């Protein structure tokens, strides 16, 4: 698979997402990419179901998606955007490390049955550090937002 295998508008199905991320169940938090414009932004989707393993303990009588996993979904979307921007599929040669979170805010809980739309914008790339701004939304309401820093390392 190459960076040009995406559908119109940069959309990607689950098979394409799996080719860009090393994550697998239960840690894969992107189900599909709705739109991607390399060097600019990405919109990804996570369907949140009651079957998610974290809901057994967070919280059994009032299940809420942990905020740290919402931020991780943003980081996974940012990784796809980064590789699409570079025109590379990571394979076994490269890995993206999440190296920082700034200004994280949580504004609305995410519940089973919600569709989490993850919007990530590339702000800049400087000396190997990628800076992104992410928002996670449910029904056009911001659930979480943060600035993310990552770097790509050769394995």
Rounded Cα distance, 131 and 53, in Å: 30
Edge-to-edge order in the sheet of strand 32-37: 32-37, 41-47, 115-126, 129-138, 141-154, 94-106
Rounded Cα distance, 143 and 84, in Å: 26
Looking at 23, 58, 62, 119, which residue is catalytic?
Answer: 58
Are the C-beta atoms of 48 and 136 separated by less than 8 Å?
no
Nearest Cα residue to 29 out of 43, 42, 48, 15: 48
147 pairs with which residues across the strands? 102, 133
Strands 129-138 and 141-154: antiparallel
58 labelled catalytic: yes
DSSP state of 60: T
- Catalytic (active-site) positions: 58
């Amino acid at each position: 698979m190459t960076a040009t295998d995406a559908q119109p508008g940069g959309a990607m199905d689950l098979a394409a997402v799996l080719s860009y991320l090393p994550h697998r169940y239960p840690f894969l938090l992107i189900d599909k990419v709705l739109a991607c414009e390399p060097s600019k932004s990405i919109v990804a989707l996570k369907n949140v179901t009651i079957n998610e393993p974290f809901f057994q303990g967070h919280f059994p009588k009032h299940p809420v998606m942990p905020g740290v996993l919402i931020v991780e979904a943003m980081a996974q979307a940012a990784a796809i955007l980064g590789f699409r921007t570079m025109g590379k599929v990571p394979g076994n040669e490269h890995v993206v490390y999440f190296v920082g979170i700034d200004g994280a805010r949580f504004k609305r809980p995410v519940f089973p049955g919600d569709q989490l739309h993850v919007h990530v914008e590339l702000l800049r790339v400087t000396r190997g550090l990628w800076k992104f701004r992410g928002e996670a939304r449910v029904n056009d309401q911001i659930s979480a937002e943060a600035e993310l820093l990552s770097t790509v390392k050769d394995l």
